[in-house]
Amino acid sequence: MPRATLAVAMSSTADIHSRDDWPSGRVLVVSATYNEHENVAALIDSVLAVSPELQLLIVDDDSPDGTGRLALNLAEEQPRLHVLVRRGRRGLGTAILEGFELGRQHGFEVAVNMDADFSHDPDDIPRLLAALEPVGGRAADVVVGSRRVPGGQTVGWPLSRHVASRLVGWFTRWVLWVPIRDASSGFRAVRLAIFDRVSGPFAQGYAFQEDLLWRVHRAGGRLAEVPITFTDRQRGSSKADFAESRRSIGELLRLARQTWLG
């Protein structure tokens, strides 16, 4: 299966970028979208209302429901909003990675990655950022918004989702040796300088989340978790289908082979 590197196909000429004149900033929130028309405008408002210091990048894969077009229109009026519409569905992992890479190119120090469906509460962003700061002398490189540390929880999931998520969590912790309880959480704060030490090829789909933690940990980076409440999406539909699950399992097994056999 083809995999992405950090220098992921940056500007295939068909991709659309909103304005190139980004204000300077330290923290860029990156949210990947695919058919999130019902959520994206509210997400943009909520994230940008958290702090005037935050900027937001939407990375859309040319959603058939017009999410990207809507975000591009909103970006015309909002200098803290940036939009990349990629031509064709290229996967969640490559979308996040391309968002991080754009953040680096524009001089941001930290990226916050979150889903666009309000499962992640924008009001938790300041707590994630605070946890990047040094504790006992050493700063964290990645802070994971975690459902599996005291105070964290998941609201609204059926039993099947709990079981699947716990299995992946267990596998990442005890087979891949990543010391994190909620490795599949897509709500994180990431110090972008970590990519000076960590490179791909990264998993292209949902397994990017576990893959990034695995690489950061192996490179000696510091991981931390803070509790969050994850709420099942209220609007729009899931993109985590059977094909994506199968692809993720393949990617995780590849990481297991590398962990144990080198």
Ligand X SMILES: Nc1nc2c(ncn2[C@@H]2O[C@H](COP(=O)(O)OP(=O)(O)OP(=O)(O)O)[C@@H](O)[C@H]2O)c(=O)[nH]1
Query: Could you say which residues in the range 140-169 bind ligand X, by CB under 6 A?
Result: none
The residues near 8 (Cβ < 8 Å, ≥ 6 apart) are: 94, 97, 98, 101
**Pick from Mg ion, ligand X, none: which does 32 bind, CB < 5 to 8 A by kind?**
ligand X
Q: Annotate 151-178 with b (16+ C-beta within 10 A) or e (fewer).
A: ebebeebeeeeeeebeebbebbbeebeb
Torsion of CA 48, 234, 93, 19, to 10 degrees: -30
Nearest residue to ligand X, scored by beta-carbon proximity: 238
Contact 167, 183 (CB under 8 A): no
CB of 232 to ligand X, least distance (A): 6
Rule CB under 5 A: which residues touch Mg ion?
A: 115, 117, 119, 233
Q: Which is nearer to ligand X, 61 or 211 (CB)?
A: 61
- Does residue 116 touch ligand X according to CB under 6 A? yes
CB of 230 to ligand X, least distance (A): 9
- Does residue 62 touch ligand X according to CB under 6 A? no
- Does residue 225 touch ligand X according to CB under 6 A? no
Contact 224, 131 (CB under 8 A): yes
- Does residue 182 touch ligand X according to CB under 6 A? no
Q: Which is nearer to ligand X, 11 or 258 (CB)?
A: 11
The residues near 99 (Cβ < 8 Å, ≥ 6 apart) are: 28, 30, 31, 32, 57, 59, 84, 111, 113
Q: Which is nearer to ligand X, 18 or 140 (CB)?
A: 18
- Does residue 222 touch ligand X according to CB under 6 A? no
CB of 217 to ligand X, least distance (A): 23
Q: Give the range of 45-53, 84-92, 132-140, 195-203 binding ligand X by CB under 6 A.
A: 84-92
In the set 59, 70, 83, 111, which binds ligand X (CB under 6 A)?
Answer: 59
CB of 238 to ligand X, least distance (A): 3
- Does residue 34 touch ligand X according to CB under 6 A? yes
The structure tokens 């980076």 sit at 221
Concatenated DSSP letters for 30-82?
Answer: EEEESS-HHHHHHHHHHHHHH-TTEEEEEEE---TTSHHHHHHHHHTT-TTEE
Q: Give the range of 69-77, 89-97, 125-133, 134-142 binding ligand X by CB under 6 A.
A: 89-97
Residues that bind ligand X (CB under 6 A): 32-34, 36, 59-61, 89, 91-92, 95, 115-117, 119, 232-233, 238-240
